[in-house]
Chain A
Amino acid sequence: MEKNKMRLVQGNEACVMGALYAGMRFYAGYPITPSSEIAEESSIQLPKVGGKFIQMEDEIASMAAAIGASLAGKKAMTATSGPGFSLKQENIGFACMAEVPVVIVNVMRMGPSTGLPTSPAQGDIMQARWGTHGDHPIIVITPTSVKEMYEFTIRAFNLAEKYRTPVILLADEVIAHMREGVEIRTDIEVIDRAKPTPGEPYLPYQLKEGDIVPPLASFGDGYRFHVTGLSHGENGFPTNSVEINNALIRRLNSKITDHLDDIVEVEEGYTSDAEFLILSIGSTARAAKSVVNTLREQGIKIGYFIPKTVWPFPEKELKECFKTVKKVIVPEMNMGQIALEVERVAAGQAEVHRLNKVTGELFTVAEINDGVMAVINK
């Protein structure tokens, strides 16, 4: 095996490196700051490996093209930000319903609307979960470093292929534009979608005993199968049957909720005896970690909890913390979105304190420290 190399790379560049490692062979996008480097780098690299890049006329078309390419058998990705993420929502729902593996990168910027195009924010956490209509499953993962931009992009493709679902890599502007030294790992497993067994009859939405999801054939394989966003039976054709619809919606959701141990990833520090906890994601988590390390040196029983999978939310893992934690501080670059989830999970077992910043700037270590101390000293 090739030895892992150290490289100084930008977050968005690391994302493309991860995508190529995972087998991305199609990218469709529409330029938007702060995600444009992902498109630019993809346009350089993809033809070198026989893959395809296309700049579509908008984000709706980009999302559609990525899904089309995936159905034709290529691992596909699209990247965007803020307004573009809003435009992609309808077709993300199509990919959920039709169970098409695809990776969507959303580099969060300050909103609403055009907002502050180059300023960091974390205001799309609920949109990533519920942006498209209807009860749908979704996996959303959140990197905190350039290294994680690389590794989580690989993970995003692996989860998309394994669970036949769109996966959203939810980064913030800081992680996307930051440069860090990264060990480019080449020992990470790559998962490819399960394909139907040749010679056997194929129903594209029939779950076989022991499988996580039904296998997915590619257009052109000879199965002549149908894919639709309408509610459909195991054969893929639309139906108005209430039983079949019920079974479909439940299976779509349970394929994720039955595999939380595989999907949910959290980084925790000092939580075994913590009375206080800082819960945060992305670039905010970096500052939070440093605050916790300093306060621990001062003897304060504080820990950190960083959801690396933000959806499904790491409920079980957080509940475990409430055996000792009495107060949680949730710093977010928004008006309080993850805090809603923390409050739900805490269910009165611990106090939840919000710390919100919407200036379009990063949290400083001092700001989080002050916010935390105010809660501790209350």
Chain B
Amino acid sequence: MKTTEYLREDKLPHIWCPGCGNGIVISNIIRAVDALNLKRENTVIVSGIGCSSRAAGYMNFDTLHTTHGRAIPFATGIKMANPDLNVIVISGDGDATAIGGNHFIHASRRNLDLTLIVVNNNIYGMTSGQYSPLTPTGKIATTAPYGNIDRPFDLCELAEAAGATYVARGSVYHVQQLKRYVERGIQNKGFSVIEALSICPTYFGRKNKMGSPVKMLEGIRDNAVIYNGKNKEEGKDKFLIGEFKNEPDREYTESYQKIIDSLKEGK
């Protein structure tokens, strides 16, 4: 299918700033969906609140734009109600790890079959540049005018530790990887987390004097370490790109179906 058929072209132009990474992430989600031949009718996109979460409205599927931080529990209800649906969740770094952090770890623990893509632009974009749990220490934000003293999460390590069964990090520079990770995440029958390192030239970039969008992309390229299974240390304070976990395990709706089936047999 033409990839533009996965977009609601009549809803464009989008609200994003020039140079924003959101479009690159969305296009790779669409490419992954297309490569897997997922039916549009059978695929639901759920998002939270934030610039990145506005993606749902532009994508030509059943789409649900929820409340800030709560996309995962809304998606949980959808998947439980109809396990035949492919449910993809798009969330920002603030959405997924601050206000939605608890849902994130519990969804990882449950291993319900959802694919979560976190667009990590290191900042709260929608509300104009306050620091998020993924803003690196020392960086400037509108609420960290003297430099951020918070220590950030490593989203992928958090997901792994909490029990997500597929975990990977791509970026808006490493688009081939990003597409492949989203594909594998969707294929994994369980909770999959794909962190998409992105750029926010308007707020994060400008506040931290990182230059043009192209410069910011080059920054990702120049500071990337491609994960090879044993170079995690090397990736510290850099961008470690790769697939960290792909270990399928019991999926939640399947476990629940077993209960339903056993009660039927008991009768």
How far is B74's CA from A237's CA once the two chains are assembled, in angstroms? Answer: 19
B side interface size, CB within 8 A: 36
Residues of A within 8 A of B70 (CB): 60-61, 64, 91
Instruction: Tell me the minimal C-beta distance from A60 to chain B in angstroms.
Output: 6
Chain B contact surface mostly: helix
Residues of B within 8 A of A69 (CB): 77-78, 80-81
How far is B63's CA from A228's CA once the two chains are assembled, in angstroms? Answer: 9
Instruction: Tell me the minimal C-beta distance from A201 to chain B in angstroms.
Output: 14
How far is B61's CA from A226's CA once the two chains are assembled, in angstroms? Answer: 8
CB of A198 within 8 Å of the partner chain: no
Instruction: Tell me the minimal C-beta distance from A224 to chain B in angstroms.
Output: 6
Residues of B within 8 A of A62 (CB): 73
Q: Which of B17-25, B145-153, B196-204, B256-264 contacts A (4 or more CB under 8 A)?
A: B256-264
How far is B60's CA from A65's CA once the two chains are assembled, in angstroms? Answer: 23
Q: Mark A222-249, 1 if CB is under 8 A from B, else 0.
A: 1111111110000001100000000000
CB of A66 within 8 Å of the partner chain: yes
Chain A contact surface mostly: mixed
Instruction: Tell me the minimal C-beta distance from A195 to chain B in angstroms.
Output: 14
Residues of A within 8 A of B74 (CB): 64-65, 67-68
Contact in complex: A65, B80 (CB < 8 Å): yes
How far is B252's CA from A65's CA once the two chains are assembled, in angstroms? Answer: 15
Q: A73-B81, A219-B44 are in contact. Are A68 and B64 (CB under 8 A)?
A: yes
Contact in complex: A65, B256 (CB < 8 Å): no
12 contacts between A and B (CB under 8 A): A28-B73, A28-B77, A57-B103, A64-B67, A64-B73, A67-B77, A71-B64, A73-B81, A219-B82, A224-B41, A224-B60, A230-B65
Interface residues, chain B, with chain A CB atoms under 8 Å away: 11, 40-42, 44, 46, 56-57, 60-67, 70, 72-78, 80-82, 84-85, 102-103, 106, 256, 259-260, 263
Query: Given A28-B73, A65-B76, 6 more contacts at CB 8 Å?
Result: A26-B77, A52-B256, A56-B106, A60-B70, A64-B77, A219-B78
Interface residues, chain A, with chain B CB atoms under 8 Å away: 25-26, 28, 47-48, 50, 52, 54, 56-58, 60-62, 64-74, 76, 90-91, 94, 218-230, 237-238
